[in-house]
Amino acid sequence: LPQPQYQALFFNLGNKTLADKTVRQALSLATNRQAIINDVYQGAAKLVSGPILPEQLGYNASIAVPSYDLNQAVQLLDHDGWRIDAASGIRTKNRTKLELTIATNDSSINAQAAEELQQQWEKLNISVRLNIVPTSELSDSIIRARNFDGLLFSQKLGADPDPFIFWHSSQIKNPG
Distance of CA 150 to the CA centre of its chain: 6
Q: Residue 176 and residue 172: Cα distance in Å, rounded?
A: 6
The whole model's pTM is what?
Answer: 0.89
What are 98-152's pLDDT values in tens digits?
A: 999 999 999 999 999 999 999 999 999 999 999 999 998 998 899 988 999 999 9
Give bridge partners of residue 153 from the DSSP assignment.
Answer: 8
Lowest mean per-residue pLDDT among 23-27, 79-83, 159-163: 159-163
| pLDDT classification of 1: cutoffs 50, 70, 90 | low
Q: Which residue type sits at 162?
A: D
What pLDDT is stored for residue 170 in this prediction? 82
pLDDT at 19: 95
